[in-house]
A and B are shown apart, each in its own frame.
Chain A
């Protein structure tokens, strides 16, 4: 029987914009099983990124529960969620979210340094940079990298602590077609290696890689 890693129950997220309250996602339920490649799709403003942030523990839902490895996580403190993010979740942002003052290698090894020494972190980071095809760019700062290269560094960083789950929020949105294809291929390979991947995307051609599609419309799961 395939293990359920995440289970979400009736989660909603409402943003309080002063006089107006915006309900970004409404009563969403689903499970994420180990080894799945899920693509969340929908139009702009449909709540895709909001949903992913709740799953990635970057934000707390207004209502509902999220179970990570059967443990309810929405009530956890910021410190506990940070600890879970570090150990179990790899998150890839649309805008790369690299630390500008750190080289590609330093960016990748930084989360690993919470658990192991610098030498071990560096070794792991080099392996991952090689895996995403950037071993020759390890000493470059983010400003010296192209969009595709930055995103590959971000993917390597997301993988450094061997997380069970990888969330990717429109990772190809800022990339040219060739770079975008390369990035999706990396996710595909990672999935084939056993990683569970949840990716938000606009691109219909990415859907062929997914085991499952979740479509959102006006904050609701169709």
Chain B
């Protein structure tokens, strides 16, 4: 392109934006915005699902790091000594030791086997958020010897997913008979919790004091020790530090423990890629149709430009600049709708899934990448209708309406 010619596409674009039909322009930008929102919505939903799954796993079941008995052992011994050692490390929010037992719970004519966790409630609060999800009654107190806390899926109720296999709507204050490995004890239901994470909601909790009163052999023992740390991106560093503490226990990150969740999130990633590809196709077809209709309506104007000697590549460049502006404006409008309307809406009314409440989550690098992709897709896609129209026979173009 010669020096003087370079300005013509810019001038044509500017004049078109300034003097062209404002409603048509608004409609094109709105359609671009819809295509862009479609392009980012599914991925941000999957980001939300992945983040919700990870957070629920960490906050209700595993913490960031878990210690298990060393190879060949069934329990961790000398728990207090291990916790004292770990407490010396920096970046630790909380440490909670648990004894997990397979117990049978019975109430009136209903019974079932669930995981029963014996915990120290005050330590537990520092690592997990079960205490923040009490929907009836209250959380366990540190020295409660008779109290039990049930997840909603064990307590049951009319709207509960696993009601058929639950205690069918047991209420706070009612009695539950617990049996484990020949031990039997009657507990009083102190509270019911609902994390909305179905795995966590199928657990029951008693205090370690209560278990120790039932069987003193459990004192200073645990089946797991969970750690919550400040910066979850430092999990591997923390694991290295723990290994240097002369601890024999097996140490895993939450991702290694929650293998099922990891495979689930991997599946989400695959589905996300597939749906992103579909969203790209939808964007391509939408942009193609929008630009084709727009350019076709200007077939005569393009013919006139060619007739007065403006070279086709200058006309094509002008339309590509126009498309880039349309798509940029569409992206900006799409972002405004996405962050100004959709995100606040779904924060207020999240999707309720069995892994918990899911909101739309985006991250800056992905958003920048998708924005760039969308603009390039727009420009490349628009090239086809623009070339098709500029290659129409000159006379046919000039006298077309």
Interface residues of A (CB under 8 A from B): 53, 58-59, 78-79, 82-83, 85-87, 91, 93, 97-103, 106, 110-111, 113-118, 141, 157, 161
Cα distance A99–B304 in the bound complex, in angstroms: 7
B4 and A113 within 8 A (CB): yes
Looking at the assembled complex, report how far the CB atom of B300 sits from the nearest CB atom of chain A, in whole angstroms.
Answer: 8
Distance A187 CA – B8 CA, assembled complex (angstroms): 29
User: Is there contact, CB below 8 Å, between A85 and B308?
Assistant: yes
CB-defined contacts of B304 to chain A, threshold 8 Å: 93, 97-99
Contacts A85-B307, A85-B309, A99-B15 supplied; 4 other A-B pairs, CB < 8 Å:
A58-B398, A106-B15, A114-B309, A116-B4
A99 to B301, CA, bound (A): 6
- A-B CB contact pairs (8 Å), 17 listed: A58-B395, A78-B312, A79-B312, A82-B309, A82-B310, A83-B309, A93-B307, A99-B304, A101-B20, A106-B15, A110-B305, A113-B4, A113-B5, A114-B5, A116-B4, A117-B4, A118-B11
Q: Which of B3-20 contact A (CB under 8 A)?
A: 4-5, 7-8, 11-12, 15-16, 18-20
Closest-by-CB residue of A relative to B305 is A99
B19 touches A118 (CB 8 A): no
Complex Cα spacing A124 to B358, Å: 65
Tell whether, in the assembled complex, residue A97 and residue B398 are in contact, meaning their CB atoms are under 8 Å apart. yes
Q: Among A53, A85, A116, A141, which residue has its beta carbon within 8 angstroms of that of B19?
A: A141
Please report the C-alpha to C-alpha distance between residue A53 and residue B2 in the assembled complex, in whole angstroms: 28
Are the C-beta atoms of B309 and A113 separated by less than 8 Å? no
Cβ-defined partner of B16 (8 Å) among A53, A86, A101: A101
Contact A82–B306 (Cβ < 8 Å): yes
Q: Are B309 and A111 in contact (CB under 8 A)?
A: yes
Inter-chain contact B4/A114, CB cutoff 8 Å: yes
Q: Would you call B394 an interface residue if the criterion is a C-beta within 8 Å of the partner chain's C-beta atoms?
A: yes
B243 touches A (CB below 8 Å) = no
B308 near A113 with CB under 8 A, answer: no
B311 in contact (CB, < 8 A): yes
A110 to B308, CA, bound (A): 9
Q: Are A101 and B308 in contact (CB under 8 A)?
A: no
- Min Cβ gap B369→A in Å is 34
Partner of A97, one of B4, B18, B307: B307
B8 touches A101 (CB 8 A): no
Closest to A141 in B: B19
**B307/A59 in contact, CB under 8 A:** no
Closest residue of chain B to A118 (Cβ to Cβ) is B7
Bound state CA distance, A141 and B301, in angstroms? Answer: 14
Q: Who on chain A is nearest to B309 by CB?
A: A86
With contacts A101-B19, A113-B8 known, is A79 near B311, CB below 8 A?
Answer: yes
- How many Å from the CB of B242 to the closest CB on chain A? 69
A72 and B5 alpha carbons, distance in the complex (Å): 27
Instruction: Note all chain A residues with C-beta closer than 8 A to B20.
Output: 101
Q: Kindly state the separation between the CA atoms of A91 and B305 in the bound complex, as whole angstroms.
A: 12
Is the beta-carbon distance between A58 and B394 smaller than 8 angstroms? yes
Contact of B394 among A59, A101, A110 (CB under 8 A): A59
Which of A59, A97, A103, A114 is in CB contact (< 8 Å) with B8? A114
Chain B 272-321 residues near chain A, CB threshold 8 A: 301, 304-312
Given the known interface contacts A101-B20, A102-B19, A113-B4, the answer about A82 and B311 at a Cβ–Cβ threshold of 8 Å is yes
Given A111-B308, A111-B310, A157-B308, answer yes or no on A93-B398 (Cβ-Cβ < 8 Å). yes
**Minimum CB distance partner of A109 in chain B:** B11
Complex formed: what's the CA distance from A78 to B309 in Å?
10
Nearest-CB residue, chain A, relative to B5: A114
